[in-house]
Amino acid sequence: MDNDGVTVLAAGLARLPTLKKLNLSNNRISDQGIQDLVGSLVNCSLEDLYLSHNSFSVFGLRSLGTLVQRATRLKSLCLRNNAIDDEGMQCLVEGIVNCCSLQTLDLSNNQSITAAGLTSLFPFFRSDNCCLEELWLREINFGDEGAAALANGLIGNESLTTLPFSLDGSGMTSRGWAAFSKLLCDTTSVNNTYLSNHTLET
Protein backbone atom coordinates (compact mmCIF):
# COMPACT_ATOMS: atom_id res chain seq x y z
CA MET A 1 0.00 0.00 0.00
CA ASP A 2 1.35 3.44 -0.90
CA ASN A 3 0.42 6.88 0.43
CA ASP A 4 -2.68 7.14 -1.76
CA GLY A 5 -3.98 3.90 -0.32
CA VAL A 6 -3.28 5.09 3.21
CA THR A 7 -5.22 8.30 2.56
CA VAL A 8 -8.28 6.27 1.57
CA LEU A 9 -7.81 3.93 4.52
CA ALA A 10 -7.39 6.81 6.95
CA ALA A 11 -10.78 8.23 6.00
CA GLY A 12 -12.38 4.95 7.03
CA LEU A 13 -10.35 4.52 10.21
CA ALA A 14 -11.53 7.90 11.44
CA ARG A 15 -14.98 6.34 11.79
CA LEU A 16 -13.74 3.47 13.96
CA PRO A 17 -13.29 4.89 17.47
CA THR A 18 -13.18 1.38 18.99
CA LEU A 19 -10.21 0.25 16.81
CA LYS A 20 -7.62 -1.42 19.06
CA LYS A 21 -5.11 -3.06 16.71
CA LEU A 22 -3.71 -1.91 13.38
CA ASN A 23 -1.03 -3.68 11.34
CA LEU A 24 0.33 -1.78 8.33
CA SER A 25 3.72 -3.48 8.15
CA ASN A 26 5.46 -4.21 4.84
CA ASN A 27 3.99 -1.32 2.90
CA ARG A 28 5.40 1.79 1.23
CA ILE A 29 4.10 4.34 3.69
CA SER A 30 6.14 7.54 3.77
CA ASP A 31 5.83 10.78 5.74
CA GLN A 32 2.62 11.99 4.08
CA GLY A 33 0.95 8.65 4.68
CA ILE A 34 1.95 8.72 8.34
CA GLN A 35 0.53 12.22 8.72
CA ASP A 36 -2.79 11.13 7.23
CA LEU A 37 -2.82 8.05 9.41
CA VAL A 38 -2.10 9.97 12.61
CA GLY A 39 -4.93 12.38 11.90
CA SER A 40 -7.40 9.51 11.68
CA LEU A 41 -6.16 7.54 14.70
CA VAL A 42 -6.01 10.21 17.41
CA ASN A 43 -9.60 9.47 18.47
CA CYS A 44 -9.30 5.67 18.32
CA SER A 45 -8.83 3.37 21.31
CA LEU A 46 -5.62 2.05 19.77
CA GLU A 47 -3.58 -0.45 21.80
CA ASP A 48 -1.28 -2.08 19.24
CA LEU A 49 0.27 -0.36 16.20
CA TYR A 50 2.57 -2.21 13.77
CA LEU A 51 4.41 -0.11 11.19
CA SER A 52 7.52 -2.17 10.45
CA HIS A 53 9.13 -2.22 6.99
CA ASN A 54 7.92 1.15 5.75
CA SER A 55 9.81 4.23 4.54
CA PHE A 56 9.01 7.28 6.64
CA SER A 57 11.66 9.68 7.92
CA VAL A 58 12.14 12.17 10.75
CA PHE A 59 9.03 14.08 9.70
CA GLY A 60 6.89 10.96 9.86
CA LEU A 61 8.32 10.08 13.26
CA ARG A 62 7.50 13.55 14.54
CA SER A 63 3.89 13.03 13.47
CA LEU A 64 3.92 9.58 15.02
CA GLY A 65 5.17 11.09 18.26
CA THR A 66 2.10 13.31 18.31
CA LEU A 67 -0.11 10.25 18.02
CA VAL A 68 1.68 8.46 20.87
CA GLN A 69 1.21 11.50 23.08
CA ARG A 70 -2.54 11.38 22.52
CA ALA A 71 -3.08 7.62 22.31
CA THR A 72 -3.54 7.04 26.02
CA ARG A 73 -4.16 3.29 25.63
CA LEU A 74 -1.28 2.44 23.29
CA LYS A 75 0.60 -0.57 24.65
CA SER A 76 2.70 -1.81 21.73
CA LEU A 77 4.51 0.09 18.96
CA CYS A 78 6.48 -1.82 16.33
CA LEU A 79 8.81 0.23 14.11
CA ARG A 80 11.17 -2.47 12.84
CA ASN A 81 13.21 -1.77 9.72
CA ASN A 82 12.23 1.83 8.99
CA ALA A 83 15.72 3.34 8.54
CA ILE A 84 15.28 5.28 11.79
CA ASP A 85 18.43 7.21 12.70
CA ASP A 86 19.50 9.20 15.76
CA GLU A 87 17.55 12.30 14.75
CA GLY A 88 14.47 10.18 14.22
CA MET A 89 14.94 8.67 17.67
CA GLN A 90 14.97 12.13 19.22
CA CYS A 91 11.71 13.01 17.47
CA LEU A 92 10.12 9.75 18.60
CA VAL A 93 11.20 10.22 22.21
CA GLU A 94 9.62 13.68 22.28
CA GLY A 95 6.33 11.90 21.70
CA ILE A 96 6.71 8.88 23.96
CA VAL A 97 8.29 10.59 26.96
CA ASN A 98 4.88 11.48 28.39
CA CYS A 99 3.20 8.22 27.39
CA CYS A 100 2.05 6.30 30.46
CA SER A 101 0.71 3.21 28.67
CA LEU A 102 3.47 2.04 26.27
CA GLN A 103 4.74 -1.39 27.32
CA THR A 104 6.54 -2.68 24.19
CA LEU A 105 8.70 -0.71 21.74
CA ASP A 106 10.35 -2.58 18.86
CA LEU A 107 13.14 -0.70 17.07
CA SER A 108 14.91 -3.75 15.67
CA ASN A 109 16.83 -3.56 12.40
CA ASN A 110 17.03 0.23 12.36
CA GLN A 111 20.75 0.03 11.77
CA SER A 112 21.45 3.77 11.74
CA ILE A 113 20.67 4.09 15.45
CA THR A 114 23.88 4.71 17.39
CA ALA A 115 24.78 5.49 21.00
CA ALA A 116 23.55 9.06 20.45
CA GLY A 117 20.09 7.83 19.53
CA LEU A 118 19.95 5.46 22.49
CA THR A 119 21.06 8.31 24.77
CA SER A 120 17.98 10.26 23.69
CA LEU A 121 15.89 7.60 25.48
CA PHE A 122 17.16 8.80 28.88
CA PRO A 123 14.22 11.15 29.60
CA PHE A 124 11.75 8.39 28.76
CA PHE A 125 13.48 5.74 30.89
CA ARG A 126 13.59 8.10 33.85
CA SER A 127 10.12 9.54 33.47
CA ASP A 128 7.54 8.80 36.14
CA ASN A 129 5.22 7.91 33.24
CA CYS A 130 7.48 5.16 31.90
CA CYS A 131 5.92 1.69 32.10
CA LEU A 132 7.95 0.19 29.23
CA GLU A 133 8.54 -3.52 29.80
CA GLU A 134 10.13 -4.59 26.50
CA LEU A 135 12.61 -2.74 24.28
CA TRP A 136 13.63 -4.70 21.16
CA LEU A 137 16.96 -3.73 19.56
CA ARG A 138 17.82 -6.74 17.40
CA GLU A 139 20.13 -6.26 14.40
CA ILE A 140 21.44 -2.90 15.64
CA ASN A 141 25.22 -2.58 15.92
CA PHE A 142 25.26 -0.11 18.81
CA GLY A 143 28.66 -1.21 20.17
CA ASP A 144 30.16 -0.52 23.57
CA GLU A 145 29.11 3.14 23.54
CA GLY A 146 25.52 2.14 22.91
CA ALA A 147 25.65 -0.44 25.69
CA ALA A 148 26.98 2.19 28.07
CA ALA A 149 24.27 4.62 26.97
CA LEU A 150 21.56 2.04 27.64
CA ALA A 151 23.06 1.05 30.97
CA ASN A 152 23.32 4.66 32.14
CA GLY A 153 19.82 5.49 30.97
CA LEU A 154 18.28 2.52 32.75
CA ILE A 155 19.75 3.29 36.16
CA GLY A 156 16.80 3.49 38.54
CA ASN A 157 14.30 2.29 35.93
CA GLU A 158 11.95 -0.25 37.49
CA SER A 159 9.68 -1.14 34.58
CA LEU A 160 11.91 -2.62 31.84
CA THR A 161 12.29 -6.39 32.14
CA THR A 162 13.19 -7.48 28.60
CA LEU A 163 15.91 -6.09 26.33
CA PRO A 164 16.40 -8.39 23.32
CA PHE A 165 19.37 -7.58 21.07
CA SER A 166 21.59 -9.56 18.73
CA LEU A 167 24.54 -11.03 20.62
CA ASP A 168 26.64 -11.37 17.46
CA GLY A 169 25.38 -8.22 15.77
CA SER A 170 25.50 -5.73 18.63
CA GLY A 171 29.21 -4.99 18.24
CA MET A 172 29.76 -5.20 21.98
CA THR A 173 33.01 -6.26 23.61
CA SER A 174 33.79 -6.92 27.26
CA ARG A 175 33.45 -3.16 27.90
CA GLY A 176 29.82 -3.20 26.87
CA TRP A 177 29.05 -6.30 28.89
CA ALA A 178 30.73 -4.69 31.90
CA ALA A 179 28.34 -1.72 31.61
CA PHE A 180 25.33 -4.05 31.68
CA SER A 181 26.83 -6.02 34.56
CA LYS A 182 27.18 -2.83 36.58
CA LEU A 183 23.60 -1.88 35.73
CA LEU A 184 22.29 -5.19 37.01
CA CYS A 185 24.30 -5.11 40.21
CA ASP A 186 26.48 -2.10 41.05
CA THR A 187 28.50 -3.07 44.12
CA THR A 188 30.43 0.20 44.48
CA SER A 189 28.18 1.23 47.37
CA VAL A 190 25.15 0.01 49.29
CA ASN A 191 22.99 2.72 47.71
CA ASN A 192 24.14 1.89 44.19
CA THR A 193 23.43 -1.79 44.79
CA TYR A 194 19.92 -0.85 45.91
CA LEU A 195 19.37 1.29 42.80
CA SER A 196 20.60 -1.43 40.42
CA ASN A 197 18.14 -2.90 37.92
CA HIS A 198 17.61 -6.43 39.21
CA THR A 199 14.72 -7.28 36.88
CA LEU A 200 16.26 -6.78 33.43
CA GLU A 201 16.57 -9.76 31.08
CA THR A 202 18.10 -9.99 27.59
Digit-coded pLDDT (tens) for 40-99? 898 889 999 999 999 888 999 999 998 998 888 999 999 999 989 999 999 999 989 988
* The pLDDT of residue 180: 86
- What are the backbone dihedrals phi and psi of residue 121, each rounded to the nearest 5 degrees, phi first? -80, -10
Q: Is the pLDDT of residue 196 over 70?
A: no
Residue 58: partners with Cβ closer than 8 Å, 6 or more residues away: 85, 87, 88, 91
* The pLDDT of residue 197: 53
Q: In terms of DSSP H, where are the helices of 14-85?
A: 31-41, 58-70
| Nearest in space to 125 (alpha carbons), one of 99, 86, 143 | 99
Number of separate helices (H) and strands (E) present in the chain: 9, 5
Q: Is the pLDDT of residue 199 over 80?
A: no
Q: What is the DSSP letter of 27?
A: S
* Mean pLDDT of the chain, nearest integer: 89
Of 105-114, 160-169, 173-182, 190-199, which range is least confident? Answer: 190-199
